[in-house]
Structure 1
């Protein structure tokens, strides 16, 4: 019979926390908790306490198992399998993603985000009628995909009546589940530790000896129970009888090793099979034992010793028992057990585990087993398990006899590791692949992947050179791949601040990719030649991170709108985790120019939520632009300065590359000697495009606040960098800042350059910007003592307003109204000025462009009109998340669609909508739009 588990002693603090968690989920809230402590601290016992007290709810359980760390979704399937009866209640894309991930049906490889949304929805549906408690033990041994999905779900649970509780070992695994609520599980209090120790001491011992044992174990329950076991009173007289003072977990494992070593050989063999078999399948274990010649009664000694329980599933006393059993086995014994498990594993129902066991039973090379592993890798990729596929391929390469085949599989494993987000592991596999005989195309593939790995690790200027070398090698082997690699190399230089000319010169030899050809012309031939090519390339664009800046470069608002809206919808519907951050960033920028600040803010919040949920880095560009346009000076400058520091740091002289002084608040663009204060020089582009974007944001902020010298400095620094998609907008900001800041020469300089670019671009947005720049520069010249003829200036302002008004350019239109109104007021035409300034003030107020609204309000008041400040109503009572959900509901999205957009379960969306209705005093969605408008 198995030993009974000892009573849970003490732990009042921990039990109270778990009791509160249960009360919360019974009240309709979701809770997440990570129990973190050293091996043997009692985490599993606390999980048992939790599940034992979840009497009014449902319990799902899973545990990481070390042999399963390379099997995709293995832990997640343990947890979710009992809940799959609710699969049909999920939206079709989520249902298909989860079915494919679990191998229940064939389909396109699912993205992790879509699988995560499916698991979130499944938990919510399972908890619809009764609370659900999910426990996940031994997090340190979760497979990578299960870790990613469960971390995502943990960060998005809200109002589903679900508890998700993890047990994670420390020290050493603190990075797992980072940022989630934690409960540290320490050693027992001294009195409880003494009482527990007394249960296992073989006889009376000196109080001082007992105190020493308690102190040495730091109250660790497992150590208190296990370390004294088997020691005589004489051995205990000196604490633990001269044992090594190594790490406590290691000493406990040594104790288990001694106990395992005393067992009969047949029992040790059975324990080893149980340790290697990962899912605790008792019938399969007995079939393997029969193959190994082990009789059923062999289990009795291990159960009597309290090392294992054989019930419905195999359960070890502690994970350290499993590792001790492994350590006690010889390589030959391990191979024999793997071979037996492979023989009894169904090749149809579980081919991947069978192949994995066969691989570990093999000595030397075996092409048949390697082929099985390769097939397992293909199945893993089809389920979205890139990390698992890489492990299968890596082992397949080791078992491949032919050097050429071994190198090819190592290269495939490297590609899978890179796709799984493990560039360091990919680099090591590339080194192994390079040792084998590779044909020229494979060698070029190694170089290209190596360059992509280098760019992923360090996207700075140095990465572009290795991409360029790989592209050159591919030219004579695979022209299409060469073009794509040249685009990557050129894009890396443009994004990272390197010199793009070498890549552009080389890429000119292999024309045929429209965006690449256009960027080559932009780099080498100048704007006039490149502009029509860029516009043409946008009809069949390439990667979004290059296509959107290209659209901005030629002021093509329609192309940007089409690109960004299409990619966002596609990424959401497919769960394309890699594409979504850039899509949200660029779409938010398009919405800002349209004057739709609330919608842009919603996407920025969504982007932040995605970063928190997945750990992906978040591009700050959209948040910078929104902060600058809102005009909250200190907060915006803090964001801008942080973005510049993160992107580029400081130059060799110690100056900040933003062109700001030490305070970062009032640089004029030139230092005392007249030199460029950006620290960049004409050709310097340190830090890449993000620095240019941040400088542009600073210019917008300072123009909105009337800080014109600082706006001149920031915009000039941005112009001199020449970043793709930034220069044109920076020139217009510079014209405005110089015209208002009393620098007509700078205004004329910027106007001239902007006019040339606008003529080449030819879009309404470009021509409107040119008309506005002409009006501003002319008015600056007029103020400086030039002609008093205001007719042309009037016409240029009106032309800009007409051109901006024809598209989705609400923000440029409102700024044109403001600038025209300011000029009219200074010209003494107060009545005409009121019309323009009133329109600008109302537009900026509605957008939430607070700094620009205040500037328009001041000008409007100077015409003699009373300005009413915007009064915020009850909408302030809505939280940001409630406001987002309300806006999506007004747009006609269902709860499931809103949940997919905001990474929430549909039931959480429903709960938040009920709160919104209560706050707004309405009872249905039909009333929602009017209620929001009334506020």
Structure 2
């Protein structure tokens, strides 16, 4: 790619040319161009587009005024390829069509939209390489930026190039991707460029001062001389930040244009789509003739075609900001009048809002309706912006306060906690209303919970529930349940009495027996009277929660807003992992469908922790990565609880120890006792795997003694195992007595498996060892089954029955190795060696140097999944699956999928 008109840009153009060459050879590339405004990022992208004749080039520009319109930038980028939507798998088709307003339906899963875009680009690239150019990507609407960042991180073998330009020092979604910083020109090139646009000779000292002050910024060197007066040339340069000076230069040039031409530029600046049809219709509406266009073209500041393009984004901002308020209002009103209310209702509503300088209920109501549509498409950020502007334009103070509260709720769901709290303050300024005051307090408590301040959340939610009781009893009971859930998370030595406070505050049962009330009463009884007294009610409440029908539109349902965490805790408390997994999957679905990313982080971590017990550590790792991606996307911290437990089960001592210590410190600082106990439980798992039984016993005992709801079930097995290895028979007996009491109240295979294993560890009862394995084998608890084989084999080996021990230890070693529980597998290996059997230690190159993703894809292909099915599971494209499989076949020395089962078994 030759830099035809770009002086001093040989290095940058060479990098961009290499990306295109790579795409032509079947590889995908991603690059972020970073630099100051005017440094030449857009010019480089123009050159790239012009020199990519054999490629399909699509581009979009982030526009500051369009940041509230969900999926606007993404739609623009995908527009040339939308004929391929019908070839997408149905879930992807529906998600993308709903996001783009082509199909009515529930809010689409944002990750599914990302996968649909990935598939769409991959499909287009099968014909010829695709170049996606996103200029001013930091100004993309929030969901478009999230989806494109998601896609960019999953490109591999699709022949797609994605290039994003961003300003230095501006937050954006594309951190972590490959970057190229575009800097100012060198002195020689900068002088030559400046002299090419000067109207006449200039004092070399002044010339050099200008070059130095612009730092070689090409746009400044090209544009500023056109706006300088003779005084400027004598003085050398005006003062102020460079961006302001460039924009001021554009302002001067625009000021010299006729009034109608300035008005035409203002229309183009206010219409972010660059839709020429809308531009000319609005111009006609305002009575502008054809002459303004000629003047605008002659100015060189704008070009007209199918799409309207400014010379630079700073021209757009200059044209808009220099306009008078009456002109802006008139232009937005004209654009609202010519925008089709059926095809673009949200854009029309936004223009109407910008055309309104004083409160107007009609406009406010239209914005409120647009907010609902945006929310249904998963645009919670857009919905919040619409609602906030709707509140500003609402004449009635009470209605204004209600809309501010709704905007705050949308901000909270989108992860913007500080903005949500600001809007709550605005809502509080409305006329006194006891119900609204209670709702404000409730949302404030929910935000505290999301921020990890569980104790504050519990107390705030209890106060809100009491305020709601006289007015809205049903909502009050849901709020009491939220307070109970927060109290459970806060409970621990650092916050004594919080659980009892929540239990005592629970209202009396109601005759209608709703699911939320069942759960609330069962938990209150468990806290006040202990497990045996509450077991039947807990089981009944869980069954109602498990079988309650929750639709995609049911975002205010008790299970989603009040019961999701509490019901999951109860599932573990009553030994029902299957119910817990069902509830976790439902929480995932509801969070994804509503676009509630903060809540999705919680559900992903809860789901992953349950999957640790099933041994599916690949799925756990996938959810841990999703938590990280959401944290990056929202700017909120990652939760990381599941990542900590994953490291513990894997026996990764360094990583797990670091995460455990950090979590314990954070939990103490936030007075969130449950998280401290969970980290301590992870410590018990880690140390048992590593054979460090004293440390494991101490950690398990701390959790066991606290009687933490839902964690005793998980800690008791760790305690029994560690105590038996340290000769602490008293605590093994305590664990057995606890298990006997629990399994009498709630007989399940999980509970009986734990009880018989503790009995075997205490008494050396071989029948109890066998019974434990039988119980676990009837569940999905593959980790517990494998560990039962390990303990039985270790006991047999100590009894001198080496042949019998080998059978159990082989089974344990194979299962633990296959699941990736390396420390436990190493325990089995050492025991096998002690029996005289040779066994190979698991090495990182077990799968012939397969990468983690190659091994994961190979396993799914072995299990019969097609490339599109594998792609859908792993959020990558089918072509990337095919590319990884080709490399896997080469490494394993095979030629077909039919050979995978044998090859993978051989390599393992």
2:307 pairs, out of 293, 307, 313, with 313
Question: Does 1:182 find its partner at 2:179?
Answer: yes
Matches for 1:466-865 after TM superposition, within 5 Å: 466-497=460-491, 498=495, 499-510=498-509, 512=513, 513=516, 514-541=518-545, 542=559, 543-564=563-584, 581-582=601-602, 584-597=604-617, 600-601=620-621, 604=624, 618-648=638-668, 686-778=671-763, 793-830=765-802, 832-865=804-837
Structure 2, unpaired ranges of 5+: 546-558
Partner of 1:37: 35
2:853 pairs, out of 875, 878, 881, with 881
2:81 pairs, out of 80, 83, 93, with 83
The whole-number CA distance in structure 2 between the counterparts of 1:367 and 1:608 is: 42
CA deviation string 1:820-854 (max 9, x = no partner)? 34334444555544444444344434444332233
Which has the larger displacement, 581-590 or 417-426?
Answer: 581-590
Deviation at 1:75, TM superposition (A): 1.5
The whole-number CA distance in structure 1 between the counterparts of 2:45 and 2:338 is: 33
Deviation at 1:738, TM superposition (A): 2.2
Distance 1:538 1:234, change over 3 A: closer
Contact between 1:30 and 1:160, CA under 8 Å: does it hold in 2? Answer: yes
The whole-number CA distance in structure 1 between the counterparts of 2:354 and 2:585 is: 49
TM-score (normalised: structure 2): 0.90
Matches for 1:129-528 after TM superposition, within 5 Å: 129-171=127-169, 173-231=170-228, 235-240=232-237, 243-244=238-239, 246-437=240-431, 439-497=433-491, 498=495, 499-510=498-509, 512=513, 513=516, 514-528=518-532
The whole-number CA distance in structure 2 between the counterparts of 1:750 and 1:649 is: 31
Contact between 1:555 and 1:766, CA under 8 Å: does it hold in 2? Answer: yes
The whole-number CA distance in structure 2 between the counterparts of 1:588 and 1:396 is: 40
SS at match of 1:462: helix
Which has the larger displacement, 686-695 or 709-718?
Answer: 686-695
CA deviation string 1:13-66 (max 9, x = no partner)? 211110111111111111111111111111100110111111110111111222
TM-score (normalised: structure 1): 0.88
The whole-number CA distance in structure 2 between the counterparts of 1:401 and 1:608 is: 42
Deviation at 1:584, TM superposition (A): 4.8
Structure 1, unpaired ranges of 5+: 651-685, 780-792
The whole-number CA distance in structure 2 between the counterparts of 1:438 and 1:627 is: 51
The whole-number CA distance in structure 2 between the counterparts of 1:870 and 1:330 is: 72
The whole-number CA distance in structure 1 between the counterparts of 2:581 and 2:284 is: 66
Deviation at 1:137, TM superposition (A): 1.1
Distance 1:915 1:609, change over 3 A: farther
The whole-number CA distance in structure 2 between the counterparts of 1:361 and 1:575 is: 30
Distance 1:890 1:359, change over 3 A: same
Partner of 1:894: 866
The whole-number CA distance in structure 1 between the counterparts of 2:429 and 2:354 is: 24
SS at match of 1:500: helix
CA deviation string 1:519-542 (max 9, x = no partner)? 222222212222333233222334
The whole-number CA distance in structure 2 between the counterparts of 1:587 and 1:110 is: 21
Partner of 1:62: 60
The whole-number CA distance in structure 2 between the counterparts of 1:493 and 1:442 is: 24
Distance 1:360 1:818, change over 3 A: closer
CA deviation string 1:466-510 (max 9, x = no partner)? 122222222233333223222221112222445222222222435
Contact between 2:450 and 2:598, CA under 8 Å: does it hold in 1? Answer: no
CA deviation string 1:152-174 (max 9, x = no partner)? 22222222111111111122x14
Which has the larger displacement, 750-759 or 253-262?
Answer: 750-759
The whole-number CA distance in structure 2 between the counterparts of 1:601 and 1:389 is: 32
The whole-number CA distance in structure 2 between the counterparts of 1:616 and 1:902 is: 24
SS at match of 2:7: coil
CA deviation string 1:158-207 (max 9, x = no partner)? 22111111111122x14442222211111011111111000112222222
Contact between 2:137 and 2:172, CA under 8 Å: does it hold in 1? Answer: no
Deviation at 1:104, TM superposition (A): 1.4
CA deviation string 1:685-718 (max 9, x = no partner)? x433332222222212222322122112211222
CA deviation string 1:329-375 (max 9, x = no partner)? 22122112222222333333333333322222223222222232223
Contact between 1:18 and 1:50, CA under 8 Å: does it hold in 2? Answer: yes
Distance 1:727 1:10, change over 3 A: same
Partner of 2:549: none
SS at match of 2:235: coil
Distance 1:862 1:97, change over 3 A: closer
Distance 1:581 1:345, change over 3 A: closer
CA deviation string 1:874-915 (max 9, x = no partner)? 623221111111222233333222222111122222222232
Partner of 1:669: none
CA deviation string 1:646-669 (max 9, x = no partner)? 44459xxxxxxxxxxxxxxxxxxx
Which has the larger displacement, 129-138 or 113-122?
Answer: 113-122
Contact between 1:804 and 1:813, CA under 8 Å: does it hold in 2? Answer: yes
SS at match of 2:895: coil
The whole-number CA distance in structure 1 between the counterparts of 2:588 and 2:402 is: 36
Partner of 1:671: none
The whole-number CA distance in structure 2 between the counterparts of 1:380 and 1:569 is: 19
Contact between 2:806 and 2:832, CA under 8 Å: does it hold in 1? Answer: yes
Deviation at 1:421, TM superposition (A): 2.4
The whole-number CA distance in structure 2 between the counterparts of 1:105 and 1:866 is: 62
Contact between 1:800 and 1:816, CA under 8 Å: does it hold in 2? Answer: yes
2:97 pairs, out of 96, 99, 110, with 99
The whole-number CA distance in structure 2 between the counterparts of 1:872 and 1:157 is: 25
The whole-number CA distance in structure 1 between the counterparts of 2:763 and 2:301 is: 88
Distance 1:221 1:535, change over 3 A: same
SS at match of 1:369: helix
SS at match of 2:226: coil
CA deviation string 1:524-583 (max 9, x = no partner)? 221222233323322233455333332222322343354456666888899986676555
Distance 1:645 1:67, change over 3 A: same
Distance 1:844 1:326, change over 3 A: closer
Contact between 1:203 and 1:233, CA under 8 Å: does it hold in 2? Answer: no
The whole-number CA distance in structure 2 between the counterparts of 1:379 and 1:596 is: 38
Contact between 2:477 and 2:507, CA under 8 Å: does it hold in 1? Answer: no
Contact between 1:732 and 1:751, CA under 8 Å: does it hold in 2? Answer: no
SS at match of 1:877: coil
